[in-house]
Amino acid sequence: MEVRQLEYVVAVAEEGSFTRAAQRCHVAQSALSQQVARLERELATKLFERTSRSVRLSESGATLLPHARRILEDMANARLALDQLAEIITGRLRIGMTQTANKTLDVVGAIGEFHHRYPAVVLATMSGPEYELVEEVQAGHLDVALAALNPDSIRPGLVFSPLADPEPLVAVVPANHPLARRRRVRLVELESSEFVEFRARTVLRNMVDDAFNYVGVERRSAFEVGQITDIIDYVASGLGVAVIPRVFATSETPGGISQGGVTVLQLSEPTLSLTIGAHKRVGPESLIVSTLLDIVTRRRRSGTTPIPTQS
């Protein structure tokens, strides 16, 4: 019993004609008929009842048909799996990541594990703000961008898949700040302080701007910085206060954390959080991208110890 014989049996059964089945399988009718007859001799049974006007399955043929279909489907799936394996062994993967995504998901560690498993894959990475990376995915220059979701800027032709629980935002103030003895703070209580801001147009900056606008506070922005770790250094130097993702406050000690010259305070506004995930183009996801995201998900960092709620 050969795979092509099963293919011919299925074609004849579905077309109800040896002629149409031969056309569908791109073979001569005589060749197809010979192979079906050969299979019938091998099985010692008739698979089709033939008349001058019609061809229909015999009882034996009806019994064989679902098995033949299943075998052909398994063969097609096997070919697809091998094709995908060839892609992931010899393909390329272009990854974008924001600093918050890397800190939250350990993207660089995941890329390292991927490279160890698939060393022949050509890897390329790009770091930057969410809006730049998403534009690169949209243009086809990146295969995936790991970044926060900007709910105010859903790009056509793209889909977003969350990869972690929402990352809360926290306030950081100098250790000698009047609020440094507190565990939590409201945005309006930061009004009198100068701010160290993250760069404009980013999801973090937009979220902070919107939050302060909502509570009616016009904060004084003294500095604009492109790295969140630099923001912490600015705050530690007494140059202002800031609102950052909690994952950058790495102390394991809960509540009112003093570390490196700054104190981390929980915000009373509970909805202030970033959702980190994968921005991809709409359509079937390639195995090479899904493999990386599987590694990212497995290695996902849990973040810092949550700051307990306390007034």
Domain ranges for the chain, please list them: 3-81, 91-165+275-299, 167-274
Check residue 146 and report its DSSP letter.
Answer: E
Would 3-81 and 91-165+275-299 be classified into the same CATH topology?
A: no
Lowest-pLDDT choice from 3-7, 49-53, 66-70, 121-125: 49-53
pLDDT band at 265 (very low <50, low <70, confident <90, very high): very high
Averaged pLDDT for residues 270-281: 92
CATH of 3-81, one of 1.10.10.10, 3.40.50.2300, 3.10.129.10, 1.10.3210.10: 1.10.10.10
Residue-wise pLDDT tens digits, 172-185 = 999 999 999 999 99
Topology at the third CATH level for domain 167-274: D-Maltodextrin-Binding Protein; domain 2 (3.40.190)
Residue-wise pLDDT tens digits, 134-162 = 999 999 999 999 999 998 777 889 999 99
Averaged pLDDT for residues 86-108: 88
Handedness of CA 175, 179, 185, 187 (dihedral sign): negative
pLDDT at 252: 41
Hey, what amino acid is at 61? Answer: G
Q: Is the pLDDT of residue 170 over 90?
A: yes
The CA distances from residue 27 to 5, 122, 227, in Å, are 12, 41, 65
pLDDT at 250: 64
Top CATH class of 91-165+275-299 equals: alpha beta
Lowest-pLDDT choice from 71-75, 246-250, 298-302: 298-302
Alpha-carbon Rg for the chain, nearest whole angstrom, is 31
The CA distances from residue 17 to 41, 67, 158, 296, 302, in Å, are 20, 20, 45, 52, 62
Tokens 């008929």 locate to 33
pLDDT at 144: 97
Question: What's the number of CA atoms in the CB half-sphere (13 Å) around residue 143?
Answer: 19
CB 263 within 8 A of CB 256: yes
Give the C-alpha separation, 163 to 115, whole Å: 20
pLDDT at 284: 82
Give the C-alpha separation, 186 to 267, whole Å: 6
More confident residue, 85 or 165: 165
pLDDT at 87: 65
pLDDT > 90 fraction of the chain, expressed in percent and rounded: 71
pLDDT at 91: 80
Q: Is the pLDDT of residue 58 over 90?
A: yes
pTM, entire model: 0.69
pLDDT band at 120 (very low <50, low <70, confident <90, very high): confident
pLDDT band at 287 (very low <50, low <70, confident <90, very high): confident
